[in-house]
Structure 1
Amino acid sequence: MPEAETPGVRPARPWFRPRRPRPRSRAGEARSQHPPAAAAENGRPDGATPTTPPSPAPPSSSAGRGLELANTVFGGGSFALALMLYAGLLNSAAYYAYFHIDTLAIGFDPIELALTSLRLVTLPVLTILALIVFVAQFLRLLSSLNDSSWVVRSLWWTWRTMTRAHLVIVGVGTILLLEWNRIRPFEWSAPLLIACGLFLGQSAGNARAAARGKFWARTAPLTVAGLFLIWMIALLAGQLGREQAVEDAAHLDRRVEVVVLSTDRLSITGPPGLGTAEDLGKGKHYRYRYTGLRLLVERQDRYFLLPSGFNRDRDPTYVVQDDDSVRIELYPGARGR
């Protein structure tokens, strides 16, 4: 029988409280039921998820642009320097050939040849370069304008017409090549027209140039056009060199006057502009004196001299080696007006 409760007295509590089971998630039950599978999946004995290492930061875009710019400047500078050496050599060869001298015999260094090419920077050359830059920038401007304007449409139509008619330009240049002797001294215009026609044929405005993936369709015409441009530069450099030589020969009195003193007689005789050898007497170390000479160029203690009133068809160019038996005196030439 149950004990009777005493009125006013509370029943005693048990000395322990039973623990209630905690609810488990399904994921926890799966891990507890299959611990080897979880460990095999992540490769760790405790089944923890591995931490993915951070990916390296992508390279800076500014560094890539700087490298690309450096490569462009280096490549363009190397090509420009090689072109300057080539043009300077041809210009100097044509100039000194007028005075019966081989350029290689003088002994110019590459820097001097490159600086000599600056003679080509004349008004026609600057005009052509300015026209090329203008056309390139003008096409870029047209591409950014609204095509709805009739002015822009007319300009684009003109440009596309020129590109489609590139074979006509090449044909005109070829005809000028056949009439080589009649177009002098503008023979350099023939290869220039052919090169321009070939470049126009490969421009984006020509629909026929859309054949991609074929070597002969794009690379071959561009290579031939580059060769014609190099030929044009060679012709222009030679022409300017000859014109400069003729100009200097006509005003030879403006060049430095040279007096040669020697201990023995020299073989400097003949031309009308050359003074007779003056004998200063036996008591002089430098006994013979030669006047009427003008300085053309000096390299490696060798003086290339021209007689006053030089005539290319009859007069020679003298080469005097400066040593102990010769003394060279230089005097200013006449001032040009």
Structure 2
Amino acid sequence: MADDDAGASTPPGRDWVSTLATIAAPTTFIGALLLYFGVSYTSAFYNYFGVDSATLGFSTQDYALRSASALYLPVGSALLVALVGTLIYYAAVAMGKRDTPPPLAIRLSPVALAACGGGLFLLGMLGGLRVWGVGAMEMPLLLSGGLVLLLYSRVLSFKLAGADYPVVRERVAVGLVLALVALASFWAAHEYAKSHGFDDAKYLAGHLRLRPTVTIDTTERLYIPHRQVRETVLPAAVGTSQRFRYRYEGLRLLAEQKGRMFLIPENWSPSCGSVVVLPANSTVRVAFRSG
């Protein structure tokens, strides 16, 4: 009867729901982190050229795709650390199930991890208080890394003793630690994305030959400063329906989005230069070439 009651009290599919929630939660977190990284990266990249990324009208998918290539190294490093941590966790579980106590060095490993975690967290706090010159990205990494090591040392100490974790009295604390780690992760991603976007924009500004060359024919004069582009007045052919009167050369395609072209002069510099925005429709004639 006890077994029947237990089975009756368990909602159908609860195991499946728990499994799906376990899988979906980190997936959702990583997806949100990718999107946030993409927004921060794109904003920093185009701000370097004086363009507000909001005017480009990128979609959620565009932001996520722009974040992928820059995240291979940090995500790969994080996954490698997670793999090592998982192996150590299962080794601790196996040792906790033995009748003989583990070696002293193994028993002291949670203490060592807790000391390292506390030291990292303290360094992050002192950096936030400007006691020492910590970088904008290093501070959240120190804080989150310290919290993760403190929590991990607590888990290992329980597993080495053959006990389960978290215990009831510490569940709220564990939830707060995980929330702080998530917050620090977004903080670090934001700072890394800004730095990476700025560096990529600076590199592109010095190597604009990597972008396609654009020649524009227009029906009206654009009044772009001559030091930025080369303007040619096209001859009016008698008896033809030629609509285009002006040709502009010396431009590179920075972006094309939502029916608009964002063009940058070949001699652009942060102190001298601007980005030209033109509609990609029948009012202009466009020719692209590489190199």
TM-score under structure 2 normalisation? 0.81
What does the per-residue CA deviation read over 1:234-256, in whole Å, with 9 as the maximum and x for residues that have no partner? Answer: 11111111111112112110111
* CA drift at 1:125: 4.1
Q: Tell me the distance in 2 between the aligned counterparts of 1:176 and 1:88.
A: 27
* CA drift at 1:224: 2.4
Q: Tell me the distance in 2 between the aligned counterparts of 1:327 and 1:116.
A: 29
Q: Secondary structure at the match of 1:121?
A: helix
Letter in 2 for 1:142: A
Asked if structure 1 preserves the Cα contact closer than 8 Å seen for 2:36 and 2:186, the reply is no
Q: 2:51 is matched with which residue: 83, 94, 101?
A: 101
Larger displacement relative to structure 2 (285-294 or 160-169): 160-169
Asked if structure 2 preserves the Cα contact closer than 8 Å seen for 1:297 and 1:304, the reply is yes
Structure 1: gaps (5+ residues): 1-54
Cα distance change on mapping 1:300 and 1:78 into 2, 3 Å: same
What does the per-residue CA deviation read over 1:285-333, in whole Å, with 9 as the maximum and x for residues that have no partner? Answer: 211110110001101221001110321122111111123321121112x
Q: 1:172 is matched with which residue: 112, 119, 123?
A: 123
Counterpart in the other structure of 2:229: 275
Counterpart in the other structure of 1:234: 190
Higher-Rg structure is 1
Asked if structure 2 preserves the Cα contact closer than 8 Å seen for 1:163 and 1:205, the reply is no
* CA drift at 1:165: 4.8
Q: Tell me the distance in 2 between the aligned counterparts of 1:312 and 1:97.
A: 11
**Equivalent pairs, count:** 272
Q: Tell me the distance in 2 between the aligned counterparts of 1:108 and 1:198.
A: 35
Q: Tell me the distance in 2 between the aligned counterparts of 1:56 and 1:221.
A: 37
- Does 2:114 align with 1:163? yes
Counterpart in the other structure of 2:284: 326
What is the RMSD of the two structures over their aligned residues, measured on CA atoms? 3.1
TM-score under structure 1 normalisation? 0.71
RCO (CA 8 Å, sep 6+): is it higher in 1 or 2?
2
Structure 2: gaps (5+ residues): 159-164
Q: Secondary structure at the match of 1:108?
A: coil
Letter in 1 for 2:139: A
Identity value in percent: 24
Alignment of 1:184-263 (within 5 A): 184=135, 187-202=136-151, 203-205=154-156, 212-213=168-169, 217-263=173-219
Q: Tell me the distance in 2 between the aligned counterparts of 1:163 and 1:131.
A: 17
Alignment of 1:1-337 (within 5 A): 58=7, 65-145=15-95, 150=103, 153-179=104-130, 182-184=133-135, 187-202=136-151, 203-205=154-156, 212-213=168-169, 217-271=173-227, 274-283=228-237, 284-332=242-290, 334=291
Asked if structure 2 preserves the Cα contact closer than 8 Å seen for 1:211 and 1:217, the reply is no
Asked if structure 1 preserves the Cα contact closer than 8 Å seen for 2:35 and 2:63, the reply is yes
* CA drift at 1:212: 4.9
* CA drift at 1:77: 2.5
- Structure with a larger share of its residues in helix: 2
Q: Tell me the distance in 1 between the aligned counterparts of 2:81 and 2:183.
A: 20
What does the per-residue CA deviation read over 1:83-134, in whole Å, with 9 as the maximum and x for residues that have no partner? Answer: 2211111111111111111111100111111111203324344223312331
